Amino acid sequence: MTDTTESDTQHTAWCDPAECATAPPGWHQSTSRSVTGHDPEGIHPGATVHAVQLGTGDDSHPYIDMTIHTEPGDGTDTEDQAYTVLLIPERALTLGHLLTTAARAAMRQQAG
Ligand SMILES: [Zn+2]
C-alpha cells in the first residue's frame, strides 16, 4: 500500500506550502500577489497573480494565473466580476514587458 503523506510531495521551488495546500490534488501554487491601492472612484480594476503547476511528473506544466477584479463603475454594473486567464510563463513575461513599456510611455507624456 502506498503512503501518500505530505512528506512524499515534491513541491516546486516557488511553491508556497500554505497556498499549495489549498490547490487541487497534484497541483502546486505560489504565493498570490495583488495589485490594489488608492482608488477613490472605485472603478479601477485590481489584479491577482500567482504561479501554478498543473499535473505531475513529465506531464506537468507551469502557468501564471492572472485574475482581473472589476468593480461596478458606472451604475450599469451591479456586481464585482473576476476574469481569470492562465498564461504560459513566456507569454506572461512578454505581457509584463508590454505593460511596463506602455505605462512608462504614458507616464512620461503625463509628466511632460
Ligand atoms: Zn506544492
Distance 76 CA to ligand 1 centre (A): 41
Q: Nearest 10 degrees: CA dihedral of 102, 106, 85, 58?
A: 30
Q: So what's the pLDDT on residue 76?
A: 65
Distance 72 CA to ligand 1 centre (A): 35
| Three-class secondary structure of residue 43 per DSSP | coil
Cell of 104: 512608462
34 strand-pairing partners:
48
Distance 4 CA to ligand 1 centre (A): 14
Across 67-105, b (16+ Cβ under 10 Å) vs e yields eebeeeeeeeeeeeeeeeeebeeeebeeeeeeeeeeeee
Q: So what's the pLDDT on residue 3?
A: 45
Q: So what's the pLDDT on residue 105?
A: 95
Distance 5 CA to ligand 1 centre (A): 13
Distance 18 CA to ligand 1 centre (A): 9
Question: What are the residue ranges spanned by the domains of the chain?
Answer: 10-111
Q: So what's the pLDDT on residue 112?
A: 67
What tens digit of pLDDT does each residue of 55-72 get? Answer: 777 788 999 999 998 876
Q: Which residues of the chain have pLDDT under 70?
A: 1-8, 72-77, 112
Do 17 and 28 meet the contact criterion of CB atoms below 8 Å apart?
A: no
Q: So what's the pLDDT on residue 74?
A: 60
- State which H helix or E strand residue 103 sits in: helix 89-111
Q: So what's the pLDDT on residue 92?
A: 97
Q: So what's the pLDDT on residue 108?
A: 92
What's the CA gap between 72 and 81, in Å, rounded? 8
- Counting residues of the chain whose pLDDT is more than 70, the rounded percentage is 85
Q: So what's the pLDDT on residue 73?
A: 63
Distance 91 CA to ligand 1 centre (A): 22
| Three-class secondary structure of residue 81 per DSSP | strand
List, as ranges, residues with CB under 5 A of the ion ligand 1: 11, 15, 20, 28
